[in-house]
Structure 1
């Protein structure tokens, strides 16, 4: 059920029965010479809308621009500063609570958003406004992703390439797959990402000249469909679990007794 396609009476009927919403988030940033800048938010929206439709929950419009400061050396990358991103997502979420939503799943497809979505979720929980959790699609199916891709790659690699081959094949520059592999870094460890235990990089370009990692030639539409279906099923199960939970059980536990045994 896509929020923007509904009328207000239809949405009133929804919140009379349900209080779960799915919010897709991604980025608009470089994904190498073979994938569009829309990669992350296309994946997030496709997964969110599919899972919401299958399970009968509400899906909001997509937040297309995230925290992408680590990709700014590449043309076209768009980014917002972390405090503004957190405040926007929190305001967006509180708007949902105003209309009767108190459980939110942030369907996230961009690593740069993760810590900030967790922080927003904590703020909402502390106020007992909503229980909001960040869900990252590839983290829901790590074994499958590892099994079907020999050189996965954390960014612009075969998993994202395969997903876009499945979701929006017309946007994949298939003639650039070898160039993406050969101009990037197949194995992140080959870039010596740490020195004496310290990370020695801040931006993608510090490790990869074309901004991507992994072997993009290992991607196929069939693999994309397989991981899309597996991740969607995980998201459906998460939504059902959240819907079944008592709101009070999702809130912060009480403080431990500061004076156990005292008579007050």
Structure 2
């Protein structure tokens, strides 16, 4: 069930049987010469939609601009300052809690979001701690790429050249979701260099085509389908446990 495709009476009816909601969260940033700028939002979005359709839980709109300042030297990338993102995540939490949701599961596709989202959670909980009250809701952040079984499958599909950014696995998931958006690009070197991530100018100097340690030319929709299927199975189990108070 998709929040954006539901009416308010349908959401009200859903809340009578479940107080849980999944929020896909990602980024809009460059993903190398053949990767889509929406990769980090598309991956959790497509997995969450398939999981929600199968298991019957509510999936909210995708929070699709995240913390990505280091990609700004590449056209099309958009970022939020960490403080802006923390404030925005808390506004989403407060809005959902206002309607009665008590289990809010943020399903993430971008490593740069982890620190600000966890900071937002701390800020949200601190309001109750400082007032000496018990918080009536629980929050969880989970990355699609760290779900059980995903990384073993990644290593099987891409024994070389998975890398750390513009990875073969994430590009495969987007090609599964949008096969018409596939791009054939010759890249040199075949496997990109690795190194630290700092500001945007330093990033562009170190990684001129945007990739870090990866060879995303290996990406295919078929490999993406396998990754989505594994992530979906693992996500359904994780969401169910969280909604039922077991995690």
TM-score norm. by structure 2 comes to 0.88
1:49 shift after superposition: 1.4
Which of the numbers 122, 139, 152 marks the counterpart of 2:146?
A: 139
Contact (CA 8 Å) 1:3, 1:60: kept in 2 or not?
yes
Query: Alpha carbon RMSD of aligned pairs, Å?
Result: 1.8
Give the match's secondary structure for 2:23: strand
Structure 1 segments of 4+ aligned residues over 6 angstroms from their partners: none
TM-score norm. by structure 1 comes to 0.83
The 5-angstrom pairing of residues 1-264 of structure 1 reads 1-126=1-126, 127=128, 128-140=135-147, 141-149=150-158, 150-174=160-184, 176=185, 178-179=186-187, 182-183=188-189, 185-186=191-192, 188=194, 193=195, 201-203=198-200, 204-213=203-212, 214-245=214-245
Unmatched runs of 5 consecutive residues or more in structure 1? 194-198, 251-264
Partner of 2:131: none
Structure 1: distance between partners of 2:190 and 2:161:
12
Q: Deviations over 1:80-99 (max 9, x none)?
A: 10001111011111100111
Structure 2: distance between partners of 1:97 and 1:83:
21
Bigger CA radius of gyration: 1
1:24 shift after superposition: 0.8
Partner of 1:253: none
Unmatched runs of 5 consecutive residues or more in structure 2? 129-134
